[in-house]
Copies of this chain bind each other. A is one copy, B any other.
């Protein structure tokens, strides 16, 4: 995960200097970054060179610049590109529905062989396990089951998931480094039928997701939705069109 290339270019040295201070925690989100003139003096560079360094860091999303005010460390984003699949709550809000959530299970368990393998743990290790039912105007839209690596989100069980979704909580708590998605059409498992109030023949969309944080598997979740109540939509644009 490290990359300590030799920065022969001056603007690269400046970039690296600022990035290091951010990564080391010396500069925290919203902290002020030295101004162009300060940096150019410190590195005996022209202002344009400091400008280039800060401009590129802006494009990389590490800092935020406000004309007339200054430069500040950016707060880590919820990473749009990484998980284009919106949280179910926002999805429902987007089509004008009324989201609610029922907590069917929220507990600590011992990982069985399958779960341990998927989370990169050893069978018997503690894992957090949650089952939620998302509803739109009282109708079940998504049955979502999650297994969480406690090392990544120790306070997962203490949250109130009728108010914030696990996705939202986890995004705040553990920055997502990578994500794996599998989307399938399946028959609804028998034990889920009642919660979604659908017929066994109804095709369902099943989204299985694993996420990685801090170089570990953070979550393994699987979400089931009736095909006629839920679709996945994605619009991808190139550049600034």
Contacts and interface: CB of A to CB of B under 8 A. Distances in A.
Interface of A: 1, 3, 19, 59-62, 79, 81-83, 176-187, 201, 203-206, 225-227, 231-241
Contacts of A237: 177-178
Number of copies of this kind of chain in the complex: 2
B238 A82 contact: yes
A205 B231 contact: no
A232 B82 contact: no
24 contacts: A1-B241, A3-B241, A60-B239, A79-B238, A81-B236, A82-B236, A83-B236, A177-B238, A177-B241, A178-B235, A178-B238, A180-B236, A181-B233, A181-B234, A181-B236, A183-B234, A184-B231, A184-B232, A185-B203, A185-B225, A185-B226, A185-B227, A201-B201, A203-B203
A169 to B, nearest CB: 20
B203 A187 contact: yes
A181 B234 CA distance: 5
Contacts of A19: 239
A197 to B, nearest CB: 16
